[in-house]
């Protein structure tokens, strides 16, 4: 946790406590967002090439991109995160039985991790610690959330 010059408290990006995340969101966004927004389903998976979320990290050395893919399972949906180099990234949750709320997708993105001991190409651990630009065909406000967060931290 850190406090800036105006006395606003920011919680660690990796916080796992949902209350801390909600407080962080409230500090960051000036516009109202519906964090409980949940799409009715994840239809047209093949139409979207099974892309769930596309993340771009412009501050990384090579402008890294991470893609979170979604695929149907007999009991719901599964998720995989892969970067440009093909490195696999730890993602939570790895699956769900029904569509996630926006808040859960934000938490999923903010808790991406490079697997410890993994001989990753590039600097994956540093990349996922950054604030990405994000887009999703299922969550239109995701782009707005991360744009506001980047602006709050002085990033373009």
| pTM, two decimal places | 0.77
What torsion do the CA atoms of 134, 16, 102, 127 make, to the nearest 10 degrees? 10
User: Tens digit of pLDDT for each residue in 55-65?
Assistant: 999 888 777 89
Q: How confident is the model at residue 9 (pLDDT cuts 50, 70, 90)?
A: very low
Task: Give me 27's structure tokens.
Answer: 């500090």
Q: How confident is the model at residue 12 (pLDDT cuts 50, 70, 90)?
A: very low
Euclidean distance between CA atoms 12 and 15, whole angstroms: 5
For the segment 75-104, the average pLDDT, to the nearest whole number, is 92
- What are phi and psi for residue 77, nearest 5 degrees? -135, 150
Place of tokens 């995989």: 80
Non-local (6+) Cβ contacts of 115 within 8 A are: 88, 89, 90
Report the interhelical angle of 102-110 vs 141-152 (nearest 10°): 50
Euclidean distance between CA atoms 20 and 75, whole angstroms: 31
The count of residues in the chain is 156
Place of tokens 């920011």: 10
User: Tens digit of pLDDT for each residue in 24-46?
Assistant: 444 444 457 899 999 998 987 77
Euclidean distance between CA atoms 97 and 78, whole angstroms: 9
What are the extents of the domains in the chain?
2-152
Are 82 and 120 within 8 A, CB to CB? no
Cβ neighbour number for residue 156 with a 10 Å cutoff:
8
Q: Could you say which DSSP state residue 30 is in?
A: S
């Amino acid at each position: 946790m850190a406090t800036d010059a105006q006395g606003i408290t920011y919680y660690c990006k990796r916080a796992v406590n949902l209350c801390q995340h909600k407080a962080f969101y409230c500090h960051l966004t000036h516009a109202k967002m519906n964090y409980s927004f949940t799409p009715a389903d994840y239809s047209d998976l093949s139409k979207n090439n099974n892309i769930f979320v596309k993340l771009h990290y412009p501050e990384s050395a090579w402008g890294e991109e991470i893609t979170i893919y979604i695929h149907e399972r007999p009991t719901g949906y599964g998720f995989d995160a892969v970067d440009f180099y093909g490195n696999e990234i730890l993602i939570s949750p790895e699956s769900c039985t029904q569509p996630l709320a926006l808040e859960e997708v934000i938490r999923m993105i903010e808790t991406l991790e490079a697997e410890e001991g993994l001989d990753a190409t590039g600097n994956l651990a540093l990349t996922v610690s950054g604030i990405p630009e994000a887009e999703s065909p299922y969550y239109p406000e995701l782009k707005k959330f991360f744009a506001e967060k980047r602006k709050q931290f002085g990033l373009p």
